[in-house]
Amino acid sequence: MDQHLYNDEHEAFRELCHTFVARHITPFHADWEQAGIVDRAIWTAAGEAGLLGMDVDEKYGGGGERDFRFNAVLDEELVRAGASGVGFGLHNDVVGPYLMDLTTDEQKQRWLPGFCSGEMITAIAMSEPSAGSDLAGILTTARRDGDSYVLTGSKTFITNGILSDLVLVVAKTDPEKGAHGISLLAIERGMPGFERGRNLEKIGLKAQDTAELFFDEVRVPVENLIGAENHGFYHLMQMLPQERLSIAVVAVAACEAMLARTIEYVKGRQAFGRSVGAFQNTRFSLAELTHETTIARTYLNHCVTEHNAGRFTVADAAMAKWWTTELQNKVADRCVQLHGGYGYMMEYPIAKAWLDSRVQSIYGGTTEIMKEIVGRSLGL
Ligand SMILES: Cc1cc2nc3c(=O)[nH]c(=O)nc-3n(C[C@H](O)[C@H](O)[C@H](O)COP(=O)(O)OP(=O)(O)OC[C@H]3O[C@@H](n4cnc5c(N)ncnc54)[C@H](O)[C@@H]3O)c2cc1C
């Protein structure tokens, strides 16, 4: 079905992404899964190919095109290839907007060239061991002392946590004020007192480094404050819709990829003298999932258009995130079932897709929190 979202420029960019992924990522991804981390060189290769900072101003080395469809195309191509360990989405879709929209000219000059070249890998650290959904409950503090903040605390589950050179850390600069006393600080690799903990062992996204971070009285110059002091919560609210849209893009692309694989599989697998795809149950299951995925694609494309037009709200993003990621989990589960025992074997891509899917309804805000946001938007 022609969905009218992408034009020829996006399709040309898709070709570039597809070729890049096939050449530079797919042959190595299984090794990176074993290692629990991707090769850093993939980042600079992506930078050279123009796959980082597509929306960053050209004077900083970016693509100069503020159009989320390019981000979505790259996300989709990574999903289709099963390249779930490559954290370009977090870098481009999630951290990028903070560095473009909340920074001073001096900060842009300092960070954006490395952001686009892949020499500076980024992360964002909100979650803590004792506070994930309840962000106002974080314990990390940044006390102002002269021209610096003194940052103390810890973060966990941080994507790109090991590889990152610049981490946007959410900290309390005025603990008395709760959500109105939170700020964002950019912490750079090598700052004294900044240590990485474990690269956490996960059930999926095996090649992605997800780590603990520790801050022991790290002196952060005030020049590394992102946005306004004590406005961190507001800044997060501004930026979370794009993060959640990015997760929804991955969800829908994953549904499409899992269905395509499963349809191929059931055509070839024989049982009781016919293909598994010839059983009515299989046909009905795949018909239902295909229909729901088509609805998801149509809805997602609308969301991307709304986002590009500046009309995509926090509640819109929450709806898109929970609905598409719950669908992804449903599709993953049903597709494993239709593969029978082979669906449980890692040599079949559907097994990895199932494992990679599970976290989608958890990170970026859980389904329950998304429903809370939507409920609140209804005045409830
Ligand atoms: C692979 C991975 C990568 C991640 N990457 C990052 C990252 O890069 N940066 C970052 O900051 N964080 C990251 N996270 C953390 C992620 O955002 C959190 O795990 C998520 O927000 C949930 O927080 P939590 O784990 O503390 O769960 P909790 O908040 O403890 O929630 C536990 C359960 O309680 C439910 N719950 C909580 N509050 C409510 C409520 N009010 N109403 C109903 N139910 C509720 C939740 O929905 C959930 O089901 C990542 C997590 C994973 C697993």
Q: Is 106 among the residues known to form the active site?
A: no
Is the predicted pLDDT of residue 2 greater than 90, yes or no? no
User: Per-residue confidence at 4, pLDDT binned at 50, 70, 90?
Assistant: confident
Confirm or reject: Cβ of 126 under 6 Å from ligand 1. yes
| Helix, strand, or coil (residue 207) | coil
> pTM for this one?
0.98
Confirm or reject: Cβ of 366 under 6 Å from ligand 1. yes
pLDDT of residue 148: 98
Beta-bridge partners for 220: 149
Instruction: Name which residue sits closest to atom 41 of ligand 1, judged by CA.
Output: 369
Is the predicted pLDDT of residue 263 greater than 70, yes or no? yes
Q: What number does the ligand 1 atom closest to the CA of 126 have? A: 11
Residue 93 Cα to ligand 1 midpoint, Å, equals: 19
Is the predicted pLDDT of residue 3 greater than 70, yes or no? no
Confirm or reject: Cβ of 365 under 6 Å from ligand 1. yes
- Report how far apart, in Å, the C-alpha atoms of 207 and of each of 28, 32, 86, 266, 344 are: 10, 5, 7, 29, 19
Confirm or reject: Cβ of 161 under 6 Å from ligand 1. no
Is the predicted pLDDT of residue 143 greater than 90, yes or no? yes
Residue 131 Cα to ligand 1 midpoint, Å, equals: 8
Write down the residue that tokens 């994930």 correspond to.
Answer: 132
Confirm or reject: Cβ of 130 under 6 Å from ligand 1. no
Q: Tell me the C-alpha distance between 115 and 122, whole Å.
A: 8
Taking alpha carbons only, the member of 312, 267, 260 closest to residue 290 is: 260
Percent of the chain surpassing pLDDT 70: 99
Whether residue 120 contacts residue 111, with contact meaning beta carbons closer than 8 Å, is answered with yes
